Structure 1
């Protein structure tokens, strides 16, 4: 015994035109004993693919008809030819009618040229949602796994392979880089005008900005491959306690100018206008030491507390070892711990001079005997 479900999709535009499409789903009662209850993922793919086909065809036809009207004389443009175009969406590939219109002969006499209106709204032969989803999955997991996830839950074609995921991810990344570069260029041109609109308030913590930056070395999976590269990851935000949020950026370029431009763009998103106290916090890597020198003044550079503590910890271990290896110095261990904590406290509170110039009392006792 079987039941046939028919789903009718109806669309109506502002002129009253109606577009209908029917989708049929067959369900067998015998499959209930196997636990097949309700609609499956495959059934949902069939329904969404049919709905997507109806909507995309209607929108493509409407836009093509709209672009056929000449904006100057409001007459129909001549027809060059009709072809088909396959548009990839998150709910499958939709084949639509792809007309090409000639330029208006009355408005552009002597010019023989044609254009495809669908290329204006879908230049990649794929919707922006599919491009974004593919790039997002490709950035979070291996390309092959991302392709399998897309095929598992979406009615995509077998041609959506890991190579397609990789190309789309790289393409979206290139577009984001171009967008950021354009925004940086636009913001750099308006820096002088913005400075005139801002009032410099000395001691205002709202004018304190912090850049926390680090590098990550990405090694190639193959031992003989040379595709190793370094990433720069940073968070740019306001200084002071209670200031949350901030802007993040990642770049594969270690060029001093490229890092500076990306940092300035991120700082402008949180209110930086070319003046104020900027602090760069890093692990002391050589490529990051060059950033404060390229930033607008005043810019200070400090090493993050984790790497400072890593430099202090070996001092305590060496002092402990020397105290235990010499007779009569075991009673100095509590003083060593206390003085090491004092050094950390002075460094944490910015009293660098005292941390360097005030030697502990037990330091002379640990000096090597000549």
Structure 2
């Protein structure tokens, strides 16, 4: 059996006859599981020849329409012809691009022009750029290049460097679309928010947390990492949105967060709850983004620090047993040695209870008592480490005093008190792609640009960006849940 696949070309001119071209012939002798249907190499050949036929006819029709001057109708004079190369998912196209002289009736800055080169300014089609960018966000650059080359007739070898450069070009285009950074994004007064704006939806929840990736400029084990901030915006209704950036590279973090909130429908009179770990790097990020916002300290980071100090207290030296003597030879019963470990454990439990109920004033008093007790009994390395941890915790609570609510009331009301939903975002956006099993190092710029792509791919927003840039772009993506599982 022989099967011939033909392409029929119908010109725009109704009086012109259709052209039929045979593009591929397939032969089969008998039916079996290995001869059933199209083979992969046959499908690649079919796509390649159909692409060449279609692209050649489109280029010919475009050149025929631009061969005459639009003002006077005179034919453009031909100067020379230069080939151009256009990369597509279905092969590499080598097209003849003629260069013509501009007509004298129309003033122009250049004497000649190449209509085909002007119609195809990018030497890669948007669909190929989209596929390379999407796979770059889901898998390592080399793995994405091998997968595309396995299933598509690309026409030449696709290198991991090309995938990386194309993905970074798309991410840089997205970065250029961001507006300028501002100190405050509140540009409405209270009267406008109360009288002119419509009734807002339920509050929006925003969680911010950090992760670390390997640095390409590593010179020692201490400077081998840099921090990446990841966040998740959870509206009352609809799908959540992820975002991430490298804080040492990004110059517009507030603008990025503000744009993400606006994309979720945030109004100036809408309540927004920010939950962070209280670190210096993101402490001021939510400020002046929304007049109705509240910035809260994540309870998980508080109780985690208290748990660490409680474990450290267990290593403190217990009081000597009865009958022992001190360094002066006096009986231990005459030397007052309180049970420091037990006392600190009780104080830490009280401290945790006070912070859970939002009583910051009494919590700071309790921290001072623990500090004084540790300073008095500092006679070993364990006490010194404990005193240092208590001092750091004291500074941490004082820096976030205004951000500690009554966690018990919020928990009973069903409101969020922890950034646990953001921990999964950090693992999905950062760790799976850039840390776990990915033993490569990153520059801050490379990591930042890749994060912009990965968050859009996981959220299913990359298609909308390409539709905005190229109105004729048509692609049917899988659901965002499937992408998240694949990543």
Report the CA distance between 1:262 and its aligned residue: 0.6
Tell me what 2:258 maps to.
264
- SS of equivalent to 2:79: strand
Q: Confirm or deny that 1:232 pairs with 2:226.
A: no
Please tell me whether the aligned partners of residues 145 and 158 of structure 2 are also in contact (alpha carbons under 8 angstroms): yes
Q: Confirm or deny that 1:116 pairs with 2:114.
A: yes
Tell me what 2:64 maps to.
65
From 240, 244, 248, the counterpart of 2:242: 248
Instruction: Work out the CA distance in 1 between the residues paired with 2:7 and 2:228.
Output: 49
Distance 1:326 1:312, change over 3 A: farther
Structure 1's unaligned 5+ residue stretches are 328-332, 360-367
Instruction: Work out the CA distance in 2 between the residues paired with 1:112 and 1:265.
Output: 40
Instruction: Work out the CA distance in 2 between the residues paired with 1:120 and 1:247.
Output: 37
Q: Confirm or deny that 1:213 pairs with 2:208.
A: yes
Q: Show CA shifts across 1:205-254 (max 9, x none).
A: 7374443222222204796598854433222354xxx4443433222344
Tell me what 1:363 maps to.
none
Report the CA distance between 1:26 and its aligned residue: 3.6
Please tell me whether the aligned partners of residues 186 and 291 of structure 2 are also in contact (alpha carbons under 8 angstroms): no
- SS of equivalent to 1:206: coil
Structure with more strand by fraction: 1
- SS of equivalent to 2:22: strand
Q: Confirm or deny that 1:25 pairs with 2:20.
A: no
Tell me what 2:146 maps to.
148
Tell which deviates more after alignment, 14-23 or 162-171: 14-23
Instruction: Work out the CA distance in 2 between the residues paired with 1:102 and 1:306.
Output: 70
Report the CA distance between 1:293 and its aligned residue: 4.1
Tell me what 2:8 maps to.
10
Instruction: Work out the CA distance in 2 between the residues paired with 1:135 and 1:302.
Output: 36
Q: Confirm or deny that 1:292 pairs with 2:286.
A: yes
Structure 2's unaligned 5+ residue stretches are 322-341, 368-375, 379-487
Instruction: Work out the CA distance in 1 between the residues paired with 2:351 and 2:289.
Output: 31
Task: State the TM-score, normalizing by the size of structure 2.
Answer: 0.58
Distance 1:326 1:318, change over 3 A: farther
Instruction: Work out the CA distance in 2 between the residues paired with 1:358 and 1:222.
Output: 44
The 5-angstrom pairing of residues 88-167 of structure 1 reads: 88-108=87-107, 112-167=110-165
Distance 1:112 1:169, change over 3 A: closer
Q: Confirm or deny that 1:85 pairs with 2:84.
A: yes
Distance 1:278 1:83, change over 3 A: same
CA RMSD after TM alignment: 4.6
Report the CA distance between 1:167 and its aligned residue: 1.4
Tell me what 1:172 maps to.
170
- SS of equivalent to 1:119: helix
Distance 1:292 1:197, change over 3 A: closer
Please tell me whether the aligned partners of residues 251 and 259 of structure 1 are also in contact (alpha carbons under 8 angstroms): yes
Aligned length: 352
- SS of equivalent to 2:104: coil
Higher relative contact order (CA 8 A, sep 6+): 2
Q: Show CA shifts across 1:274-328 (max 9, x none).
A: 5554433222332111313464556543232332331243465568889x9999x
Please tell me whether the aligned partners of residues 210 and 237 of structure 1 are also in contact (alpha carbons under 8 angstroms): yes
Instruction: Work out the CA distance in 2 between the residues paired with 1:40 and 1:297.
Output: 61
Instruction: Work out the CA distance in 1 between the residues paired with 2:212 and 2:72.
Output: 60
Tell me what 2:386 maps to.
none
Instruction: Work out the CA distance in 1 between the residues paired with 2:270 and 2:52.
Output: 55
- SS of equivalent to 2:239: coil
Please tell me whether the aligned partners of residues 187 and 265 of structure 1 are also in contact (alpha carbons under 8 angstroms): no
Distance 1:352 1:260, change over 3 A: same
Distance 1:343 1:112, change over 3 A: closer
Please tell me whether the aligned partners of residues 278 and 298 of structure 1 are also in contact (alpha carbons under 8 angstroms): yes
Please tell me whether the aligned partners of residues 200 and 270 of structure 2 are also in contact (alpha carbons under 8 angstroms): no
Q: Confirm or deny that 1:43 pairs with 2:42.
A: yes
Please tell me whether the aligned partners of residues 236 and 267 of structure 1 are also in contact (alpha carbons under 8 angstroms): yes
Please tell me whether the aligned partners of residues 85 and 95 of structure 1 are also in contact (alpha carbons under 8 angstroms): yes
Please tell me whether the aligned partners of residues 236 and 263 of structure 1 are also in contact (alpha carbons under 8 angstroms): no
